[in-house]
Structure 1
Amino acid sequence: LHDQKALAEVYLLSLTDNIVTTARSTFGYFAHSLGGLRPWILYKPENRTAPDPPCVKAVSMEPCFHSPPLYGCQAKTVEITPFVMTCEDSNPGLKLVDAPE
């Protein structure tokens, strides 16, 4: 029942025109992706100080893979693949982006 309620909530969030989500929010990322929108990501304050800028629009609607596996690869994935970048709100998180022209 809990999973069904969570899925219903994510679906309803995906129908909105605008959402500001907190950094590392799985619900926010998933809802935006389902709705085909790039999320606004609100950064967490550090030492009671608001970040500058306090929020950013993500470069793609793809969710962030917050804990990507290494698969024994010693290379930095974001340096060898043009369609992957570090997430705006999570390092070492990865996300898919359009390859540069």
Structure 2
Amino acid sequence: MHGPRGVLVCGYAPAEQEALLAMMENRGFGDAPAIFVDAGAAGLALAELLSGLLEKELHAFMAAWKTLGLPSQLWACLTPTSETWTLKALLTELDHERQALAKR
């Protein structure tokens, strides 16, 4: 995947942050920095933006995340195009895509 190895996480409560960090450590992602954004204060959606992972790591990460029982969220992988967007613009675009897919 494009960009440096890491995870940008929006909207997680402190307990959810701890659960995610524990999952990352236990599943071999402890070397990927996790940055938490207070989405509630910024009016942003619950989301994870991943970068620098191999494709098989991405699938393993998402499968491990499902075991945490956290609420549904938006997912994105950093791309050369999206790295120039603000976080709010990226999450807005992801939400529009989610809504369009839900209408199918």
> Same-fold call, TM > 0.5?
no
TM-score by length of 2: 0.23
Larger Cα-atom Rg: 1
